[in-house]
Amino acid sequence: LTRLGTIAVSGTVLDSTVQSVSVNGVGATVAPQGAGQFAFSASVPLAEGDVALVVTATDSAGQVGTAQVTVTRDSTSPLLEVTAPERLTQRVSGTAAIAASDNLALQQIAVSINGTAAGTFTTSPVQVPLPLPSGAVIGDTVTVTVTATDTAGNTATATRTVLVTGDGAVLGQVL
């Protein structure tokens, strides 16, 4: 599994008369290793999804040998949605709701609040409490940052800002 657009393919051919090696039609560099062994390497472009890498070696008699392996390229970032209340007060804390998904598989969801780690999770959805930071005053903000990473290493980041407000008070006569 890779997110890169090319992959380095290398291996060994056991034939003392090898003439050429290619991987998916890309010519490989071939170097003798002694005792009828040749090392090869090639940089091969990858399309999105499952890609069959076929190594073809040809010797001086025209005999052809092949080997194949399948590699998956995933360059698609996870999808990420973060919802949080618009404000927090002394009496009313909040919760951030996080939903993440991926076309193959999520590896982790990392959450921070005002730059401090609040948790790392491996499944979605996630609920993270948003307490009012100590010393927070009206007008301050609380920043929730979430980064989702998939198994290929692709990431998506979302940030939500929550305003610290007063609890409010009723003034005057209530009838």
Closest CA to 18 of 74, 56, 69: 56
* pLDDT for residue 158: 98
* pLDDT for residue 90: 84
DSSP string over 90-149 = SS--EEEEEEEE-SS-EEEEEEEETTEEEEEESSS-EEEEEPPPTT--TT-EEEEEEEEE
- Convert the pLDDT of each residue in 62-95 to its tens digit: 999 999 999 999 999 999 999 999 999 988 889 9
What average pLDDT is seen over the chain?
94
Residue 21 CA to residue 108 CA, distance in Å, equals 40
pTM more than 0.75: yes
* pLDDT for residue 31: 97
Residue carrying structure tokens 């998939």: 150
